[in-house]
Amino acid sequence: MAQLSLQNATSCCVKKNTTSSRVFCSKCDFKSCFHIMSYRFSKFYIISHAFNPLRLRVGGSLEDQTVYKVGLVTKCPHFKNNMNVRRFGFSNGCITMERWDQLNQFFNETGAKVTFVLNALRENKSENKNSTLWVGNWNKLNAQEFMKYTISKGYKIDSYELGNELSASGVFARVNAGQYGKDTIILSNLVKKLYANFSDQPKILGPGGFYDKEWFNKFLRVSGPGIVDGLTHHIYNLGAANYLVMYAGNDPKLISRVQDPFYLDKIAQTFKSISESIKQYGPWTGAWVGESGGAYHSGGTNLGMASTFDHKVYCRQVLIGGNYGLLNTTTFAHNPDYYGALLWHRLMGSRVLHDASPYLHSYAHCDITVLLINMSNSTTFVVNTVNDLNLFPSDHTELPPREDQVVLLNDTPLKLTKTMEIPNLNPALVSPLEPIKVAPDSFVFAVLRGFGAPACSSS
């Protein structure tokens, strides 16, 4: 299953005309905006549907500045750039129910599983003018009316999450772990009440922020058993992208970090620590990566490592938007990372075997599919497979490096067909006696037919 994140969907408004439905995003930063026109028949729909089942996290940076125009809420302002505002340089904004209807049409047509992030700071106040600590109990009324509307329309929500990046020191705002635990109990009780007649109730997720051992442990202790179904944390282990001057400054070391396996492996401690927090304080829940992009507003994932440490879900930045999307923000053409994500979705399983040189990242997933990522820019790795019973040829899918937006799969350019379909991802058939060669800065998916791995046969 591909885990994707649709960031800032709540920060857009809907305009309709007689020929098409247009969705224009009113939250445009880093000189980037996107819109969706006639999505039912667009590249956006077709490319997204290829990931079926698709998981979308609807929320993001401005979630805790968003109100829902339903019930007693009558004013519905658009987000506006305002650098005098401490939180992300944007004013508060609103999502209309017409916009929500439009989004759900897309969700239904793509078979998406939806995680919706609720405003956790509704009517809360910062402790003082210069403090990032927000205090007070969560006001559930606007979220309650939103849920009632969602239920009345028959829209399916896989999970609700409370707030975005409010844990520990937070991002421009934070909530104490004890308060957040109490607020999550309120959300859980609200969902149980409104969805009482549903056999499959939405899951409760949280906190959707950066991991801090003491904060997460206290949150689990306060919320207690049976409240949190998914313990969500965010991963941006590469720091800031070069252009992120507004938030984190210029970081010229970003590219070298991407190619440094020892730097990348540092994040393993976070995955390990959150697994230990769950084991000790919340064995009823499971770890989720709720948002990840490697670098802020950039690309990169840790799918194999997350699987190694028993993470149930991985939501990556981003389907579309910003500078890191799987899809181009104006043409909806697939960016290079799209096909890597699609091949992972189609080929990789849930059990992981991992052993290799630090410069050759290898993840062997049962059935058995081996993903080999060569992080060296000068060394070709030759990998031999040994299995006395393996008499079948293997399928090799190689994606060599390029310096443009075109992706080569076994030397064949990948482009949408004339009928707007995803091209066939045809592997190269290779003898089991031949080694697997992984060129510099490239990666290979190798499907080993008839490979008898004991770890894959156990229950």
**DSSP summary character for residue 383:** E
**What does the alpha-carbon distance between residue 253 and residue 241 come to, in Å, rounded to a whole number?**
9
**Topology at the third CATH level for domain 352-457:** Immunoglobulin-like (2.60.40)
pLDDT at residue 11 is higher than 50? no
Instruction: Tell me the three state secondary structure of residue 380.
Output: coil
Domain boundaries, the chain: 2-333, 352-457
Single out the residue of 69, 68, 77 nearest to residue 27, CA to CA. Answer: 77
Quick one: pLDDT band at residue 324, thresholds 50, 70, 90? low
The strand pairing partners of 437, in sequence order, are 382
Tokens read off for 45: 């729909």
CATH class of segment(s) 2-333: alpha beta
Weakest-pLDDT range from 97-101, 205-209, 210-214, 410-414? 410-414
Weakest-pLDDT range from 97-111, 188-202, 295-309? 295-309
Mean pLDDT value of segment 74-78 = 87
Q: pTM for the whole thing?
A: 0.82
Mean pLDDT value of segment 264-273 = 89
**What does the alpha-carbon distance between residue 203 and residue 118 come to, in Å, rounded to a whole number?**
13
Q: How many helices (H) and strands (E) does the chain have?
A: 11, 28
> 286, 221 in Cβ contact below 8 A?
no
Single out the residue of 54, 94, 7 nearest to residue 296, CA to CA. Answer: 7
Gyration radius from the chain CA atoms: 22
**DSSP summary character for residue 120:** S
**What does the alpha-carbon distance between residue 190 and residue 196 come to, in Å, rounded to a whole number?**
10
- E-assigned strand segments in 211-255: 230-235, 239-240
> 38, 17 in Cβ contact below 8 A?
no
> 5, 291 in Cβ contact below 8 A?
yes
pLDDT given at position 454: 66
| 2-333 and 352-457 agree in CATH topology | no
CA–CA–CA angle 115, 81, 316 (5° rounding): 30
List pLDDT tens digits, range 399-425.
777 777 888 888 899 888 888 788 888
- Mean pLDDT rounded to a whole number for the chain: 79
pLDDT given at position 72: 93
φ and ψ at 292, to 5 degrees?
-155, 140
| Catalytic positions | 165, 291
Single out the residue of 434, 446, 420 nearest to residue 50, CA to CA. Answer: 420
- Which range among 82-96, 219-233, 243-257, 410-424 has the greatest average pLDDT? 219-233
Single out the residue of 130, 10, 100, 102 nearest to residue 64, CA to CA. Answer: 10
